[in-house]
Structure 1
């Protein structure tokens, strides 16, 4: 959410002069296609390495247990003390300025689309 105004500005600059159909095609379909290719290649390689090579990772069960206990304790503390709604409220409050910026960008896009439709 915090990067949205910057990404939107960047995409607007590089997309200047293109039609909306071209913009949607390039912004949505191309990244989805490249992501599918990336995960297919990397995921297939990871599965292949996992099944064919012996496991060389050091599995420290004590460390896993400690981290699991710490995370469980934090979750329980948030629920019991009622701090979870406070943290949720804080995240909403901090995201408010970015939501306003996004709203202004949306309004400005619709105004620009109406101007371009009339010409």
Structure 2
């Protein structure tokens, strides 16, 4: 295996590493499971990028498997978020509890805020 110094793949690997660290940091700080799933996903993408840099062909079964697992992790996280099962963190629940009285007091303001900053 020869090292392939492709600048796009190297840049993708660097961004993956940054996202993994930020996702893990967010998870540890706010117990956000979605951040953890994002970190896991980009960690897997980073493994695929590293393998390509080390000379593995992008059509290799190893790369395809790693990328497929990464996509499945993020699909699972988004599905769980859409259902609202076990993904929401304490900050999201506090935000919802804070916005509910605003909804009762001023219906139009709530809809404007929800349009600008959706919390779904």
- TM-score interval, smaller chain: under 0.3
Relative contact order (C-alpha < 8 Å, sep 6+): which is higher?
1
Query: Greater share of helix residues, 1 or 2?
Result: 1
The structure number with the bigger radius of gyration is 1
Q: TM-score, normalised by structure 1?
A: 0.27
Q: TM-score, normalised by structure 2?
A: 0.27
